[in-house]
Structure 1
């Protein structure tokens, strides 16, 4: 009984850990793309200023 409860708790904790890791990776990639997008906008605006 206690062993099955322990294994269940371990499984749940491992799953939640994986879930948080997944969420962290996704948010990190989204933040990275946002930053890259802003960098791209800045570079484009600089190019537009240079062309004028």
Structure 2
């Protein structure tokens, strides 16, 4: 399983320009919850390969 360690960063990475608008992931999730959405997990089935997943239409 791969995770995005920066998903809950507390500030923008130092490589971002001053024009970059940092929005904390927690704030985005809280806003989605207020609007009735709920975050969920979507894992890839073990039998599915990355190539097969990329070619499937959603």
Which structure has more RCO (C-alpha within 8 Å, separation ≥ 6)? 2
Taking structure 2 as the reference length, what is the TM-score of the superposition? Answer: 0.26
* Larger helix share, 1 or 2: 1
Q: Which structure has the bigger radius of gyration?
A: 1
